[in-house]
Every structure is written in structure tokens, then in C-alpha cells.
Amino acid sequence: MSTEILIIDDNAEIRIILEEILSETGYKTRLAANYNQALTEIDKKLPDIAIIDVKLDKSENDGIELLNHIKLKNKDIPVIIISGHANIEMAIKSLKSGAFEFIQKPFDKERLVNFVNRASENIKLKNENKSLRSRLFHSFDLIGVSSNVTSIKEQINKLASSDSRIFISGPTGSGKELIARKIHKKSKRANGPFIIINGALLDIRKYEEELFGKEKTDGSISYGALEKASGGFLLIDEVTEIPLETQSKILRVVIDQKFKRLNGNHDINVDVRIICSTSKDIKKEILNGNFREDLFHRLNVFNINIDPLNKRSEDIPLLVEYFINEICKNYNRKEFIISDNSYLLNYSWPGNVRELRNLIERIAILDAGNNENKIIDVIKESLSSSTEDNFSISENLSVPLREARENFEKEYLTTQLKKFGGNISKTAKFVGMERSALHRKLKLLGVKDLN
């Protein structure tokens, strides 16, 4: 499929020259002569690459405004800025705004083609990586032996056969979308679409168009997520970010199972199963007036709550093994072993399972698997805190020796217990203690049995 380039310049001669150069090189082109035409072309279909003149007909820097507009829609699209009145300040401003390159008129043909070729390679590589990540994600399973994950697996099996609405709560990166996909995969709607909209990422002016669609003056229709999800599932991620006015319209859809497109006069009936998710405390959002309580009760027919990874540390060794296997298989890398899990078990995992998965992916991509020291180096560099940080040396320096020693022993023995999955016998053997002595020590330090 040929790379498509949108050329935006108010000078007709420049547009024609650029079109001829790029068409000869094998690229498809679209043209826009002013700011409004450019907006229409961008909103109609995002190009693979954009070439934008800094100064059009709207304002001094309307090319930069268009650059920002494109980046809001898709930050990966390469944008080459051109200018006949170039200066260092303008070049820096455009590059800071995310421009791929800056080129001054009159431009050298060979230099321009070189920029475009590099931009084309850049977007193709990013798209390939996205595709690979998507295939990786869709093949992942819900892994864990913690009571939280075990309970969720049971809930998935029960909920898959119904058409009830589901509300999933949990921190960012914990696996909310994965849970929704598993329910879809096991349901009678498995062959239907699975559509996602993210309340936190939508343009606030286009929430309703994204949800309900729009009937345009030229007779064309922009279909919304509800229609796209017909016969399948609609996951509304970060639903608490949706404005209250739009929430009331979602409530009507949930009650009536129908809606009108923007500018439309006819009811559209929908057959869609809705799953909502949030990383926020929903009860607090309701109390603060940010989310409608009546909508929550309609959406929350069944509730699933997934804990942060640091509350289910017994799942970490299993997840590490699973991600190594899956990621190495997809990247065609040799599998490796992380023999020392202490860094992973003592880390707080603010990014949860997603952060752990990214770490394993990084080790695989860097081919660190053949060298144990290199693996540890990658882990140390990647994690914002390490085992040593978590021992909180500065805090221990401000307490008596006995208390500092107790703090260290508690942290050390908890780490070893996690390392051996809560097995007292294996932990005792490793630390060089009798099993009964370890039991007494753990009780004295107030360390709970992990089993």
C-alpha cells in the first residue's frame, strides 16, 4: 500500500512542484490550499505524512496549529514543516511541537525526497511495531494464582454467557482491557466486533460524535462507536472522564437501547453489550459530582475489581515466565531466565502488569537474555526504584541500631518468602535457618504467612 502524503501550501506553484516530485518518487498525494481545506482533509482521513507550510491564510503560525491538530489525532504521523521565511526560532518552535523535519524554501529536491523517505520508513516501522504489540496483547492470557486473579477468572466464565453490563475497576496497566477481551472471547458475541473508546483520550468537543456518529450536510454518515459495536461489545475505558452532559445521553441509550446520530432525526436501535472501566475511585467521583450515580447503577450490574500488581506479588514470577515465553516467541528470540527476582518482587510497579510486560519486552529486544549481568543491568536501569531503595537506608539511619536491624530483617525475609512463593521450608533452607526458627522470627517481626 502506497504511502499517502498531504501537501498543505497556499502557493499553487509550490503545491504542483511538490506533487510532481513526490508522485515521480512513487507516493500518493492529496492537496490543501488553505487552513480550512487542510482541516477538512485531516479530519476526513489522516495522511501517512504531512508537508505543511508555516504561514497560510489564518494566522502567522497556522501551519504550527495544523501540526498540533495532527499530533492530537495521532502523535506518530511525521510532519515536515516548510517555510519561505525561515529562521532559527521558527525551526526550533516547529521541532518542539513535534515536527519530523524543518526545510526552508526554495528547497533542494534531493534533500526533500530524502526527508520524505525517512519519514515514510519511520511511520512504517512504528505501524509494524504497533501491529506486533497488538498481536502480542491479543494473544496474552490472564495469568496469576493470587486470590484476586483466581476470583476474576471465575467471574469471567460466569459472565461470558450473559448479556449483563459490567463495570471493571483497577489501576492503569493492571489488565482491565484484557479482562473485557476475555469476556468477549468466551461470549456468544465472540464473532462480533470489540470496539474501544477511551474517555481520557477523546477530544472533549467530539465525545458525542465518537459515541453516536454524525449525519453530515453532504449526506455522508460518520458512524459512532455504538453502531460500530453492533452485535458485539463496546468497552468505554476511563468512563469517568466523560462529561456529565454526555453521561445523561449514555444513560438514555442504556435504558432505551436506541439513540439519534448528531444532526439525525431517526432513532438508531442498538444491540451492543457495554463494559465500562475506570482507574479512579468511582464512589469518590460520584460524591464529588463528577459521575452520575444513576448511570453507575445501570452500568454496574456486575463489578470486577483487579488489584494493583504490588498487592498480588505471588503472581509476579508466573507473569515473568509467561511474558518471557510469549514475547520471545513473537520476536523470534531465545528464551531466557531471570534467576534473581528480588528486584522485581521489591519494586512498587506503579505501571502494574503493563510495566512488567514492557520490561520483559525491553530485555528481549536488547538481546540481554544471554547475559545474566546484562539482564540485571536492564532491570536496574528500567525500574525507578530497586531493592536497595526500598530498604530506605536514609530512614534506617535515623533510628536505633536494633530497629534498623529489625527493619532490614523484615524486608529481607519478606523478599525471600516472595521469591519462594511463600514456601517456608525452601525459604528456611536458603537463608540458613531451621524451619521452626524461621516461623518464630517471622511471627516476632510481624510478617504474615504468604500462603
pLDDT of res. 159:
93
**Residue pLDDT, tens place only, 412-428:** 787 778 767 788 888 88
pLDDT of res. 133:
53
Q: What grid cell was written down for 265?
A: 432525526
pLDDT of res. 385:
43
Distance from C-alpha of 95 to C-alpha of 67, rounded to nearest angstrom? 10
With a cut of 70, say whether residue 134 has pLDDT above it.
Answer: no
Q: Which has more pLDDT, 444 or 136?
A: 444
- Could you give the dihedral angle defined by the CA atoms of residues 123, 367, 340 and 344, in that order, rounded to the nearest 10 degrees? 0
With a cut of 50, say whether residue 309 has pLDDT above it.
Answer: yes
pLDDT of res. 400:
61
Q: What grid cell was written down for 129?
A: 511495531
Distance from C-alpha of 146 to C-alpha of 150, rounded to nearest angstrom? 6
pLDDT of res. 135:
54
Residues in a beta bridge with 28: 4
CA angle 212, 214, 219 (to 5 degrees): 150
**Residue pLDDT, tens place only, 1-42:** 578 999 999 899 999 999 999 999 899 999 999 999 998 898
CA angle 21, 11, 90 (to 5 degrees): 90
Using CB atoms within 10 Å of the CB of residue 434, give its burial: 0 to 12 exposed, 13 to 18 middle, 19+ buried.
exposed
Residues in a beta bridge with 169: 278, 305
**Residue pLDDT, tens place only, 78-101:** 999 998 776 677 778 788 888 999
Q: How far apart are the first and last CA of the chain?
A: 55
pLDDT of res. 401:
61
Q: Which helix (H) or strand (E) holds 410?
A: helix 401-419
Q: What grid cell was written down for 203?
A: 477530544
Q: What grid cell was written down for 111?
A: 534533500
- pTM exceeds 0.85: no
Distance from C-alpha of 98 to C-alpha of 95, rounded to nearest angstrom? 5
Q: What grid cell was written down for 10?
A: 497556499
To the nearest whole percent, how much of the chain has pLDDT over 90?
39
pLDDT of res. 403:
66
Q: Which residues of 116-132 are buried (b: 16+ CB within 10 A; e: fewer)?
A: beebbeebeeeeeeeee
With a cut of 60, say whether residue 388 has pLDDT above it.
Answer: no
Q: What is the DSSP letter of 262?
A: B
With a cut of 80, say whether residue 253 has pLDDT above it.
Answer: yes
Which residue in the block uniquely carries the three cell numbers 449514555? 250
β-pair type (166-169, 194-198): unpaired
**Residue pLDDT, tens place only, 167-217:** 999 999 999 999 999 999 899 998 888 999 988 777 767 788 889 988 888
**Residue pLDDT, tens place only, 215-226:** 888 777 888 899
- Give yes or no for a contact between 90 and 83, defined as CB atoms under 8 angstroms apart: yes
Mean pLDDT score, 303-311: 95
Model confidence band, residue 394 (pLDDT cutoffs 50, 70, 90): very low
pLDDT of res. 417:
80
Residues in a beta bridge with 305: 169
Contacts for 94 with CB less than 8 Å, ≥ 6 apart: 54, 63, 64, 67, 81, 102
Distance from C-alpha of 108 to C-alpha of 191, rounded to nearest angstrom? 52
Mean pLDDT score, 119-125: 86
Task: Enumerate domains of the chain plus CATH numbers.
Answer: 4-126 (3.40.50.2300), 140-307 (3.40.50.300), 310-389 (1.10.8.60), 391-445 (1.10.10.60)
Q: What grid cell was written down for 304?
A: 470486577
Amino acid 273 reads R
Mean pLDDT score, 68-84: 86
